[in-house]
Amino acid sequence: MISQGADRRVVAAYGLEEPTLADAQAALQRVHGAVGIAARWAEMLARAGVSDQDDPHSLRRVVDALASEGPVGALCAAALRIRITSFDQLSAVNNTLRSAS
């Protein structure tokens, strides 16, 4: 079962939280530092064509934009894609197992 927390969905059986835009922003800050992060984040949202509305489609567009930020951005994007895919796949498995029982 996926439970809806205050801000995030969690795959109950695995304790894995759904990645969010906040995770993408934190990744960007980790690689570029805190100085100028607000402007860099606003630019990333604009390049992705999204607001700060947190939904899976927005996150995927931001990850795509991050991937074009050179080698470091591409590495961050790859890590976020792994988290997104892991969450999606484990959610699907969890749902299948729960519906089969």
Pairing of strands 16-17, 2-4: unpaired
Q: What pLDDT, on the 0 to 100 scale, is given for residue 7?
A: 55
Q: What is the CA radius of gyration of the chain?
A: 15
Q: What pLDDT, on the 0 to 100 scale, is given for residue 10?
A: 75
Gap between the Cα atoms of 53 and 49, Å rounded: 11
| pTM of the shown model | 0.82
The answer to whether residue 77 scores a pLDDT higher than 50 is yes
Tell me how many helices (H) and strands (E) the chain has.
4, 3
**What separation in angstroms does the CA of 64 have from each of 19, 20, 95, 100?**
14, 14, 28, 35
Place 12 in a pLDDT band, splitting at 50, 70 and 90.
low
